[in-house]
Chain A
Amino acid sequence: MKKFIYTILIMLALVIAGDWGLGCWLRYAYRHTSHDEIGRLNMICDSVTADVIVLGSSRALHHYVPSIVTDSTGLSCYNCGFENEGIVFHYALLRMLQQRYSPRLVIYELTYDYDIQFLYERPVNLKHIHTMADLRCRDSILASVDPWERVSMLSHIYPYHSLAFTIMASQKPSIYDSPQVDNGYIPQFKQMRHSSDWQFQPQKLDDRIDELKLGYLKKLIAENAGHLLVAVSPRYLSPEDDIYGIVEDLCREHGVPFVCMMSDPIISRDITLWEDDGHLNHTGAQAFTRKMMPHIKQILTQNNKK
C-alpha cells in the first residue's frame, strides 16, 4: 500500500512539475510568435487601434477590404476576421480590445452555423480564448461554455493544448505576412469553376439553435448598440432565406442596423467574383465592400450627429 501511495505522489509531482515547465515554455513561445494566425492574434491583442474593426469568421476575413473603408470614410480600419471562429471568440476578442480603446464602429459579419446554429460535432471553439491570458473576462466566458473549464485552466499546458506544433510552425512567414494583406484582410485570387454537370446544392442550415451562441450574440448586440453594424455577406447562388429573422428582430429591438446581402442579385450570381461557394475572391470582396459603404457611412454619420 505504501509503495502505491509513493508511486502516486511521485507521479503527481512529476506531472505538476512538467505541467508548469512545459506550460511556461508554451506561453512564452505563443506570446513571442509573430507569424501566421497566432502572430496575427498577438498583434490584434497588443496593437490594433483602428477606428473601424471587422469581426467574424473566414467570410469576414476574406470579404471586407479595409483600404476601401479608409478611402471612403477617412477612418482607419482593421479586419479582425478569424477562420473557423464564431460569436463566442469574437465577443471575447472585442471585450479584450475594449479594455484598451473603444472602436468607433464594429462590423460583425454573421455566419449562421458559427453564430446561431447548434452543431453537435463542432461545439464552440475555445482554442484561442484559452490563450488570451490578459483578458479579464476570459474565465467567465470559458465557464459559461463548460463550468469545468475553471478547473482545467489550473493546468499551465491546457490553455495551449494541441497548439505545440502550430506554435513551432508559426515561426516562419505565412500567407498572413504576404505583402498583399491589407490591414488584416486576406485577399483570395482564384476563380470558382465547376464542371458542366455541376448542380447547385444550397448550404444545409437548420433551425436548431445553440442557446449559448445566441446568448453571446444578444450580449454583443445589447452592449454595443450605437456603434455596431451586423451584416451577412453574399453566398454563391443563395436563395432568399428567412432564417435570419431572429437576428433581425434582435437588432431592431436594440436599434442596431442589420444588413443582409446573402442573396444579393448581382454578386451572388456572378461566378467570376467567387473563390468557392462560401467565399468571395478579391474582385468580389472589393465589389461587396463598396456595396456596404453606404450602410457604414450612414451609421458613422448618425454617430457623429449624436
Chain B
Amino acid sequence: MSYNSLTFIISLPFIVLGYYTMPARWRNAALLAASLALYMLWWPAGILVMTWVILTSHLGIGYITRQREHSLGAMWLTIALTALPMLFFKYLQPLNEAITSFLHIEWWLNRHHWYVPVGLSFYTLQAIALVVDVYKERIRPASSLVNHAAFMSFFPITASGPIVRGDELLAQLEKRERRFDPELAWQGLRWLIWGMFMKVAVAESFALFVHAVEMRIDTQNGFTLLLSTLCYTIQLYADFAGYSLMALGVSALLGIKLRHNFWHPLFAVGIKDFWRRWHISLSQWLRDYIYIPLGGNRCSAWRSRLNAMATFVFSGLWHGAGIAYLLWGAMHGLWLVIERLLRFDRWPQHWLLRLPLCLTTFVLVSVLFMLFSHDVPTTLHIIDRFFGQWDGFRLTVTQSVSNLSREWSMVALFSVMIAKEARDEWAPTLLSQRTWQIAFYSGVVLLTLMFGVFDRSGQFIYMHF
C-alpha cells in the first residue's frame, strides 16, 4: 500500500489512535504486526525475504554479542547471509542475462523472471549497519526479537527508506514510554502534507511531461529533450523527497523522530554539497560503512580519491545492476575527485558565483540521472540530439491546450515548491507562527487537491531500487 493512496490516508488516524490507546508494552508488537500486514499488501511472498533478513541479522547479532573475542568472522558471515537475498534478487538475474546473451545460451534461469521485493535494498543496508554497529559496540542490540523485527520492518520506511540506524530508531523503539507529543505530531502532519504535495502534485505533473517526451524521443528537438532531462530530476527529487517526508511525518505521528533524508538538493553547489543534501541517509551509510573502512581521508591523497571512486561505484551498483548504474556511480566519483583537485571547497562563497555554479550542478546532475531512466546508448543518443537537433527554444511536445496547461501547472507548482525551500534554507523563521502555518498548510492541501494527478499508478520511483 502506497502512502499517497486514499486507503493509507484513511487508515492512518486509526493506526495512530490504536497505537496510543494500547498499553505501552504491546506497542512494538503492534507496530510489527501492522508493518508486516502493510508490507504483505505490496507482495505477500516478499515477507519471506524480509523474515530471512530479520532472522539472520538477529541471530548473527546474538552470536556476535555472546562471542565477543572471536566475532569478526561471525560479523562477516552475518553480513553475507543478510545480504544474500539482495545479491540474489538484484544481481543474479541481470548477471545471468548478460552472460547468456554473450554466450548465446538458453537455460532454465532465462525462463524465470522475479520481482525484487519492495524495499529490499533499504532494509538490507539497515540490517548491515546494525550488525556492524553492534560489533563495534557503538550501540546495544535490540532487547528482544520483537523489537529487532519492529526496527527492521518499521512500516513508514520499509518501501524506500530513509536508511535508519540503530541509534536513531532502535533506541527510540526500546524506550517503553512513548507519549503523544503534540508538537512533534503537528510537525509530522506538516511533513505529511508537504510530502503529499511534492509527490502527488509536483512529481506526478512533471512525470506527465517527461513521459510525453520519452514516448517519442526521435521527434523532439534538443531543447525539449534538455528540458525533459531537467524535469526528470525535479520529478525524481519531488517523488523521493516527498516519500521521505511522508515517512518522517508518519513516524512523528507515532512519536518517533527521524532525521531528514533530503535538504534542498536543488540549491547544491558542487557534487560534494549535492550528496550532503540528496538521499542523506544513503550518503552517510556509504561514508560510514564503505568510505571510512577503506581508509577515508586518513591516507594519501590518491588513495583517498580512489576510496571516493570506489564508494560511488558501490553506490551506483546499489541502485541497480547494469553498466548504466555503474557508469552513473563512476561519473559521480570522478566529479568529486575533480572537485577535490580544484580545491572547490575553498572557492569564494559569494552568491554571484554560487548561482551559476548551482545551475551548473543541477544541469550536470540531471544529465547523469538520465542513466537512471535510459540505457547508455539511448543516453548518448539523447545527448547527441541536445547539440545536433537544438532547433531553438521551442517545445516539440504536442501543443494542444491541455498540454500547455500541463506545462503551466508544472511552472506554478515548481514555483511554490522552490519558494518554500528557499524560505526553509535562508529564512526559516519567516512566517513561522502557528497561524501562518495553519493557513499555509491548508492552502497546500487545497493545491494538492486542485493540481494533484490522481489517475496515474502513483508508485514511488525509488521503490524500484
Which A positions have Cβ atoms within 8 angstroms of B?
A: 1, 3-4, 7-8, 10-11, 14-15, 18-19, 22, 26, 36-37, 83, 120-127, 148, 151-152, 155, 157-158, 160-166, 168-170, 174-175
CB neighbours (8 Å) of A122 from chain B are 456
Contact yes or no, B450 A127, CB < 8 A: no
Most buried by A among B10, B441, B445, B452: B445
Contact yes or no, A174 B401, CB < 8 A: yes
**Which of B69-77, B110-118, B180-188, B225-233 lies at the binding interface?**
B180-188
CB neighbours (8 Å) of A152 from chain B are 6, 454
A10 to B437, CA, bound (A): 11
Which B positions have Cβ atoms within 8 angstroms of A?
A: 5-7, 10, 180, 182-183, 185-186, 189, 205, 211, 400-402, 404-406, 408-409, 412, 434, 438-439, 441-443, 445-446, 449-457
Contact yes or no, A166 B405, CB < 8 A: yes
Contact yes or no, B6 A169, CB < 8 A: no
CB neighbours (8 Å) of A157 from chain B are 446, 449-450
Contact yes or no, B7 A162, CB < 8 A: no
A169 to B185, CA, bound (A): 40
Known contacts A18-B442, A148-B7; is-contact A4 B453 (Cβ 8 Å) = no
Pick the contact of B455: A4, A8, A123 (CB < 8 A).
A123
B238 to chain A, nearest CB (A): 15
Contact yes or no, A161 B402, CB < 8 A: no
Most buried by A among B211, B450, B453: B450
Pick the contact of A4: B7, B186, B446 (CB < 8 A).
B186
CB neighbours (8 Å) of A125 from chain B are 455
Contact yes or no, B402 A166, CB < 8 A: yes
Extra 19 A-B pairs, beta carbons < 8 Å, given A37-B402, A157-B446: A1-B180, A4-B182, A4-B185, A4-B186, A7-B434, A10-B438, A14-B438, A15-B446, A19-B449, A151-B6, A161-B451, A162-B453, A164-B409, A164-B450, A165-B404, A166-B402, A166-B405, A168-B405, A175-B400
CB neighbours (8 Å) of B205 from chain A are 162
CB neighbours (8 Å) of A175 from chain B are 400
Closest to B402 in A: A166
Known contacts A14-B442, A120-B457, A123-B457; is-contact A162 B451 (Cβ 8 Å) = yes
CB neighbours (8 Å) of A151 from chain B are 6, 10
CB neighbours (8 Å) of B456 from chain A are 121-123
Contact yes or no, B401 A15, CB < 8 A: no
B310 to chain A, nearest CB (A): 36
Pick the contact of B405: A14, A22, A160, A165 (CB < 8 A).
A165
Contact yes or no, B455 A169, CB < 8 A: no
List 5 tightest A-B contacts by C-beta distance, closest first.
A165-B405, A4-B182, A14-B442, A166-B405, A148-B6
CB neighbours (8 Å) of B457 from chain A are 120-121, 123
CB neighbours (8 Å) of B401 from chain A are 36-37, 166, 169-170, 174
CB neighbours (8 Å) of A161 from chain B are 449-454
CB neighbours (8 Å) of B451 from chain A are 161-162, 164
A18 to B434, CA, bound (A): 19
B206 to chain A, nearest CB (A): 13
A4 to B182, CA, bound (A): 6
A160 to B450, CA, bound (A): 7
Pick the contact of A162: B186, B189, B211, B409 (CB < 8 A).
B409
Known contacts A14-B442, A123-B455, A169-B401; is-contact A155 B6 (Cβ 8 Å) = no
CB neighbours (8 Å) of A37 from chain B are 400-402
A291 to B186, CA, bound (A): 66
A1 to B7, CA, bound (A): 27
B64 to chain A, nearest CB (A): 43
B201 to chain A, nearest CB (A): 9
A92 to B449, CA, bound (A): 24
Closest to B444 in A: A15
Contact yes or no, A15 B442, CB < 8 A: yes
A97 to chain B, nearest CB (A): 23
B221 to chain A, nearest CB (A): 16
A176 to chain B, nearest CB (A): 9
CB neighbours (8 Å) of A123 from chain B are 455-457
Pick the contact of A7: B186, B405, B409, B412 (CB < 8 A).
B186
Closest to B448 in A: A161
A148 to B10, CA, bound (A): 10
Contact yes or no, A169 B438, CB < 8 A: no
Most buried by A among B211, B406, B442: B442
Known contacts A165-B405, A165-B408, A166-B401; is-contact A15 B445 (Cβ 8 Å) = yes
Contact yes or no, A7 B438, CB < 8 A: yes
Pick the contact of A126: B182, B400, B455 (CB < 8 A).
B455
CB neighbours (8 Å) of A166 from chain B are 401-402, 405
B253 to chain A, nearest CB (A): 11
A260 to B438, CA, bound (A): 59
A152 to B439, CA, bound (A): 23
B97 to chain A, nearest CB (A): 20
Pick the contact of B404: A1, A4, A162, A169 (CB < 8 A).
A169
B188 to chain A, nearest CB (A): 11
A196 to B31, CA, bound (A): 63
Closest to B216 in A: A276
A15 to B9, CA, bound (A): 16
A158 to B200, CA, bound (A): 13
CB neighbours (8 Å) of A22 from chain B are 446, 450
B31 to chain A, nearest CB (A): 22
A18 to B400, CA, bound (A): 30
B183 to chain A, nearest CB (A): 8
Contact yes or no, A18 B402, CB < 8 A: no
CB neighbours (8 Å) of B449 from chain A are 19, 155, 157-158, 161
Most buried by B among A8, A126, A157: A157
Contact yes or no, B455 A127, CB < 8 A: yes
A11 to B186, CA, bound (A): 11
CB neighbours (8 Å) of B441 from chain A are 11
CB neighbours (8 Å) of B438 from chain A are 7, 10-11, 14
Contact yes or no, B405 A169, CB < 8 A: yes
B454 to chain A, nearest CB (A): 6
A120 to B443, CA, bound (A): 32
B332 to chain A, nearest CB (A): 28
Most buried by B among A120, A158, A165: A165
CB neighbours (8 Å) of B442 from chain A are 11, 14-15, 18
Closest to A164 in B: B450
Pick the contact of B452: A7, A8, A162 (CB < 8 A).
A162
CB neighbours (8 Å) of A1 from chain B are 180, 182
CB neighbours (8 Å) of A121 from chain B are 211, 456-457
CB neighbours (8 Å) of A162 from chain B are 205, 409, 450-453
